Structure 1
Amino acid sequence: MRIRPAAPADLPLLQDIERAAGEPFRTLGMTEIADDEPPALDLLERFRKAGHAWIAEDDGDAGRPVAYLIGEPVDGAFHIEQVSVHPDAAHRGVGRALIAYAADRARDQGLTGLTLTTFTEVPWNAPYYERIGFRPLTDPELTPGLRKIRAAEAEHGLDRWPRVCMHRTVT
């Protein structure tokens, strides 16, 4: 596996990865999440141009993208907006490698940690992130930027299921 910055030609493939990664939510009765449209190309391009969009390529399949991560600095930390792994590449450490790569880039930028928001009761969400070093943030710990993100998520209907903000220190 190789991690590299996303190129313009990759962006439609990231949408395909997102659609495939959403399918397992159906088994949890979260059809709205499974049916949710992936990030628009112009949004993906904004992350790409900022240098905050990375893909993981499968070495064994002609460099085919199998996962991606997008994010941006928010209140002194790198906020992971989305990390998605194609189900065909699941359980091989691809997401963990992308997060480690993002942590290295965050450190290079002088940021102190990683943040994300996620579902608490989805096994491959909050429980997974806790296993790789993230911790849930309490309400008083939320920064203004994280509060704004959570408000946008609630407006989008994501609070229908329990969610949490999480943080991991970048060392």
Structure 2
Amino acid sequence: MNRDATPMIAIRPARADDAEALPEIEQSAGLAFRTVPDLAWLADGDNVSAERHRALIAEGACWVAADDQDKPVGFLSAGIEGGALHIWELDVRLDRQGSGIGRALLERAIEDARRRCLAAVTLTTFRDVAWNGPFYRKFGFRILEGTEIDQRLAGLLNDEAEHGMPAERRCAMRLDLSRS
């Protein structure tokens, strides 16, 4: 294989034995926040526990991007919340970012939501961080404003603010799925 070639990545459902690797991937991905001065503190934040990852995996809406050795290098954790697939976390190891892994994970989640005949895919994220709001807008997600933000999403945004996230930079986003 060419030294510059990107190793093969497979997107597959997460398994319980993947849970131990996911906090490390989250930690690595979070290092990207060091490039955003007022959010650099996030690089040293707490990660979701392996136990919580196992619970999310058991619900059946989590995927990993695995390398050619079947080792996870990225993941997307989601859950079905109020008729929507809600993305809790999308992370790719820092050294693998920018290679299409996040896009592939997101496409897989959207495909799964359509297969389940769900109305939408939702998430909360930073409005202005390049790999957050602008990334999701490329896939057709829109920022919800005012009364478009339902009670569930408003509650999540409030919880995030209580945990130190700057509320003015956070947003709820939604991708409406066609029923056709």
Same fold per TM (> 0.5)? yes
Amino acid at match of 1:140: T
**C-alpha displacement of 1:94:** 0.9
Q: Could you tell me how far apart the structure 2 residues matched to 1:95 and 1:126 are?
A: 13
- Alpha-carbon contact 1:3-1:56 (below 8 Å) kept: yes
> Partner residue of 1:91?
98
Q: Does 1:49 align with 2:55?
A: no
More deviation, 107-116/79-88: 107-116
**C-alpha displacement of 1:108:** 2.1
| Counterpart pick for 1:164 among 131, 152, 171 | 171
Q: What percentage of aligned pairs have identical amino acids?
A: 36
> Partner residue of 2:33?
25
**C-alpha displacement of 1:41:** 1.7
- Alpha-carbon contact 1:75-1:144 (below 8 Å) kept: no
**C-alpha displacement of 1:150:** 1.1
Query: Could you list the per-position Cα deviations for residues 23-71 of structure 1 after superposition, in whole angstroms to 9, with x for gaps in the alignment?
Result: 0101212232111121012211110110122101123xx1221100011
The 5-angstrom pairing of residues 81-160 of structure 1 reads 81-159=88-166
Q: Which stretches of structure 1, 4 residues or longer, exceed 6 Å deviation after superposition?
A: none
- Alpha-carbon contact 2:157-2:167 (below 8 Å) kept: no
TM-score by length of 1: 0.92
Q: Could you tell me how far apart the structure 1 residues matched to 2:167 and 2:34 are?
A: 15
SS in 1 for 2:166: helix
Q: Could you tell me how far apart the structure 2 residues matched to 1:35 and 1:157 are?
A: 13
**C-alpha displacement of 1:160:** 5.5
Number of aligned pairs? Answer: 169
Structural RMSD (CA):
1.4
Q: Could you tell me how far apart the structure 1 residues matched to 2:26 and 2:45 are?
A: 9
| Counterpart pick for 2:43 among 34, 44, 60 | 34
Q: Which consecutive residues of structure 1, in runs of 5 or more, have no partner in the other structure?
A: none
Q: Larger Cα Rg: Structure 1 or Structure 2?
A: 2
SS in 1 for 2:73: strand
TM-score by length of 2: 0.88
Q: Which consecutive residues of structure 2, in runs of 5 or more, have no partner in the other structure?
A: 1-8
Q: Could you tell me how far apart the structure 1 residues matched to 2:50 and 2:25 are?
A: 13
| Counterpart pick for 2:21 among 13, 29, 39 | 13
**C-alpha displacement of 1:12:** 1.7
